[in-house]
Every structure is written in C-alpha cells, then in structure tokens.
Structure 1
C-alpha cells in the first residue's frame, strides 16, 4: 500500500480570510512544506495559474502538485454546462500538465463557507429530488473532466449543499462512477457524521483524502444559529492530525482496509499566529505518517534528510 503525503497552503494563507497569513509568501509555504517532510502540495490563491510558471516553482522545492480546490457551480448551472466547462478549462489544463491526482471539486453555488455573517445553520439544504438532478448533472461534468485527463474528486464541505453524511450518501447514490469522492475527515466530523462509517460505505469511490483534524470542544461550543463557518475557523475548530480529536490510526486502518492508495493531504485552516504553520506542518506530518505506517502503508517521496528537527 502506497501513501503520498501532501499539505494544503491554507495553513499559511487563507484565501477566505486574508487577515490569516495574507502577507506570507508562496516561497515560504513551499519551503516549509518540504522541510516538514511533505512531497506534494495543493494549490491556493497565490499559486501561478500555468504549468510554465508553477512547474519550476514546485520543482525548486522538490514538490509535486497533488490537487487543488475548484469552486464549482454545477448545482445552479444550465444543463448544457457550457459556462462551467469554460471556467474549468484552464485549471484542468494546469492539473493535467503537472500530473495532479484530481480536481478538488467544491460546490459553491449558494455556499456560506466564505460569509462571516451567515450562521452555520443557514446553509443551503437540498431535498433528494434536487440532489438527484444535481447528481446527474455533476456526473456529466465529471465525465468532461475525465476526458480532459483529470478525475473529479467531490469535496463534501461545511456550509454547502452537500455537508452531512446523509447529503453525501444521497449524492453518491445519484452520481455515476466518474464522480470520485474527496474524503475529508474534519468536515465530516464537524457536520456530525461518522467519518469511519463513510469510509465503509463509500471507500471504493474515494480518490483523494484530506486529513483534517478537529477540536471537538470548539465545535461543541459553537452557536450554530449565530456563528458562521469562518467564526469556527477563527475559534480553532480545525487543526492538524495529532493535535485534535480524531483517531487517525483508525482512519488509516479503515482506508487501508478498503484499498485506498494515493495522496493524503494535511489541511488545517488556523490562525498562523496561534498555530505557526511550520511547526504544525511537522506535527501533522509525524502523526499522519506514523498512523499510515502502522496501517501498513509505505510512504512515497519521504523527505527525512531535510525535515525540520524537533
């Protein structure tokens, strides 16, 4: 079983909350990601948008492009999907040319994830017939992405129309095989779902993993009729593996049991002043790599000689 470890740049610079790391350079993010041991990264707002620009930057730090967020609006798109395909074309080209594992598709039609004034319980809710229609349309978009050489990994996410375990179950039921699953431990735990049961039910659809930890005490203290998703981030709802409430030994073993191989991305949006990204990257790498090795994974591209000592 092969595992590749990557990290998301959101710990260094949060695109939805520019006050969190807005001044941090891309070079700092890449250098500290590699020094912590990671062999890949996902994209963020500061990343160049063409392979000619981004490829050399990644290569300079010995990093690969694992994936990256795509703000999809298929939920409200016309059935012909023409505008959505046009919007995605350049990102698909970048990802194909740099060998990314998938497009991390987040449904942003009607999302409240980036709205500080929108309470958590005001997120868009979809009935099964709406998810069925959406699923058929999303399948066609995923087939288009596959034709362009990049699989689609659907990212269930707090504040969106597909947030809960029940939402995800319905989406998996009403989508075709072209729609892969980007499984995110932290978002499922935050949404009140059973993150281990999700692996059991949908493991064969998982094509990418976000290893996000949570602080249960922070989540349980939120007033969902008042506090927004961004309020939760600022309060410290998320952290890296090894610093929160999720047992990643159990997660790694379940993923091994269903035969998942590929990228495991540490992702934790936090205040970089309270949680220095370089330090927390090391914590996340050590905890996740230990859990994966215990579950029988061999870590590909490990960078032990450059890793930060501690």
Structure 2
C-alpha cells in the first residue's frame, strides 16, 4: 500500500522545502509504506505538483524518483489531478470536462502528467471527473455523454504510456445526484477508463463502498482508503462554495474533520472489510492510504502504517491478492490544500 502526502500541505506556502519533503518521505517509509501518490499543482509553491516543477527542484523527473528511493521508498504510484486547476507553466487556466472545447487541453495535460508518471514508476492518473455540484448542479444525460466523451478521449491518449485513468468520486461532486456516477461508468470504455474508489468520500456522500465493490468491482482500478467521521445527511454538497463552507469549515454542524485515520472512532469505514472485499474480487491495484485534515500528519501516517502492517497486510498475505498486487505505498498530494493537515514549516534549509 502507498500513502498520500496531501496531508502534509495545509497552506499553499507550506511543504515546499526539500528538507520537509525528505522528512515526510522518511516518516512514510518507516511507517511501512513503499510509495507515494503525488497531487497536481502549479507554480513554485508546488515543487511536487507537475513535471516542470519536479525538474526545476530535483534536476529532472528521474532525479525526483531517486530522491524518493533515497528515503527508502520504491517510487510513485499515481498522480491526482483536478483539471479545473490552471498551470502557470504554460499559462493555461484549467479545463472543464463538460466543455467539448476543453478536450484538447484535457488530453494535453493528462499526457504531460502521465508521461512523467510512467518515468516515476507509476501507473494510474487519478482525476476529479466533474465539477462540484455547487458549481454545475446535477448533471443530465446530455452532460454525462459529454463527460464520457472527454474521459474516453483522455483514457485512450494515456493508455499507450502504460498509465490508466481513474475517475475519483468525492462527496461534493455533481455526480452524486441521481445515480450519475453509475451513468458515467456505463458510458465510458472500461478498457481505458476505471474508477478510483475513495472509501471515505463514498461514506460521507451516504454511499456504501462495500456495496459498490460488490456490484462494480470490475471498474475499480485504484483505491483511496481512509475513514470518515460523519455523513453529509443535509445535502450541503449542493451549496455554492461547498468546497469552502462544508469541506473546509465543516458546514452547518461544524464538522471538525470529515476524514480520519483508519482505526479512529467512529469506524464509518471498515478498512479490514474493504480489504477483504477487494481481495475476494481479485483486486490487483494500488491502495493509497489517506488521512485528510489531520493536525498531526506524521502521527496520522504512523497510526495508519500500524493498521496496514498489523491488520490489513495479514489479509492480503493470506489470499491470492498478495501475489498480484503492488507492494504497499503512500502518496504525496497537495492540490486540495485546505483539506490537508499541518506540518512543521520552521526548517528553512
């Protein structure tokens, strides 16, 4: 299993120094993970955010891979990309997959990221497939067809690079209403478009990840494994600006953290049951462990690492799952900064 380093970047100007990256990677390594997932971003405050920044800060994409390996990890498993993010590196302002006119940009940026990901040893480009519900409202059939055409094109473009496309459903997504997620899956080509299952996002959205695994295991190519602390029963995801008022500020109920460590009460996500279900269906992809909004990212990483080594790994080792699945890894994401937990930023080396 791998881990996501997104929790180490609470603000845009945090987690930008080489020493901080080295410390985080070493914590990840000693906690029993073997790799990391990156989060796409732009500009000098996102030194791990895209291929140009990796080259500028580590000499080359290959130089960053060596940096990761020097910390005792095997490499990068995946990259998370929100296409709404613009890239200063080429003066673009983001793409909307609901706009056919944005499709060329989607393909160009996905290929750019996928080429570097392949060089880093990774195999899945994880994307946020649709706008937030508060931005676009629920999606009709026509919109779903446009989305499907966009992501089919992206999936086909990056497949020759050895990188698969994983659509990531989050609880603020416009795909949450009226079974739109299932509708999009029906319209996309399973040969080039898969699903990145995020267990906590499903639970906060009022969905059961175990039920989804049972009915759609064949579409799952990537997993974000994390626990949830609450459920958005009030459907605040429909509010304009919910990514700030709900996700970051906790909504009307002031939820302190939507996402928690694997063993944290209440156990709204049964990580062991999820792992068993994936094993039963022959899942052979990455499992990326996350702990968004943790105030103590190193502690969260170690707590999750204990669960992986002593609870989850015995499950995978006792099944055929272990013979086909990549070894445990972790990820370093940074695009949804307000969801991420703080890290000591006083070291200026």
Same fold, judged at TM 0.5 (above): yes
Deviation at 1:89, TM superposition (A): 3.0
Structure 1 CA distance for aligned equivalents of residues 38 and 135 of structure 2? 29
Pair 1:196-2:210 in alignment: yes
SS of the residue 1:229 aligns to: coil
Q: Identify which of 283, 286, 294 aligns with 2:306.
A: 286
**How is 1:230-269 mapped onto 2 (pairs within 5 angstroms)?**
230-232=248-250, 235-243=256-264, 244-269=267-292
Distance 1:152 1:246, change over 3 A: same
SS of the residue 1:27 aligns to: helix
Deviation at 1:21, TM superposition (A): 6.3
SS of the residue 1:107 aligns to: coil
Deviation at 1:223, TM superposition (A): 5.8
Structure 1 CA distance for aligned equivalents of residues 178 and 290 of structure 2? 20
Distance 1:271 1:250, change over 3 A: closer
Distance 1:123 1:83, change over 3 A: closer
Pair 1:187-2:210 in alignment: no
Structure 2 CA distance for aligned equivalents of residues 185 and 302 of structure 1? 17
* Stretches of structure 2 lacking an aligned partner (at least 5 in a row): 40-45, 56-60, 84-94, 330-349
SS of the residue 2:303 aligns to: helix
CA contact (8 A) 1:214 1:239 kept: yes
Distance 1:83 1:220, change over 3 A: closer
Pair 1:88-2:142 in alignment: no
Pair 1:75-2:97 in alignment: yes
CA contact (8 A) 1:164 1:193 kept: no
CA-to-partner distance for each residue in 1:104-147, whole Å, 9 max, x for gaps? 11136x437xxxxxxxx666321133112311221121111112
Structure 1 CA distance for aligned equivalents of residues 262 and 132 of structure 2? 26
CA-to-partner distance for each residue in 1:29-55, whole Å, 9 max, x for gaps? 211111111101011344253413311
Distance 1:205 1:250, change over 3 A: same
Structure 1 CA distance for aligned equivalents of residues 173 and 304 of structure 2? 26
Structure 2 CA distance for aligned equivalents of residues 266 and 286 of structure 1? 12
CA-to-partner distance for each residue in 1:271-294, whole Å, 9 max, x for gaps? 42xxx2121112212223413423
Residue of structure 1 in register with 2:181 after alignment = 168
* Stretches of structure 1 lacking an aligned partner (at least 5 in a row): 113-120, 304-310
Structure 2 CA distance for aligned equivalents of residues 85 and 197 of structure 1? 32
Structure 2 CA distance for aligned equivalents of residues 168 and 204 of structure 1? 15
Pair 1:49-2:49 in alignment: no
- The root-mean-square deviation of aligned C-alpha atoms, in Å, is 2.9
CA-to-partner distance for each residue in 1:167-220, whole Å, 9 max, x for gaps? 22111111111101111101111111121111112111111110011112x756
Residue of structure 1 in register with 2:343 after alignment = none
Residue of structure 1 in register with 2:77 after alignment = 66
Structure 2 CA distance for aligned equivalents of residues 208 and 67 of structure 1? 9
CA contact (8 A) 2:229 2:260 kept: yes
Distance 1:80 1:230, change over 3 A: closer
CA contact (8 A) 1:139 1:176 kept: yes
Deviation at 1:300, TM superposition (A): 6.0
CA contact (8 A) 2:126 2:165 kept: yes
Deviation at 1:245, TM superposition (A): 2.2
Residue of structure 1 in register with 2:7 after alignment = 11
Give the total of aligned pairs: 284
CA contact (8 A) 2:32 2:328 kept: yes
TM-score, normalised via structure 1 length: 0.81
Pair 1:126-2:139 in alignment: yes
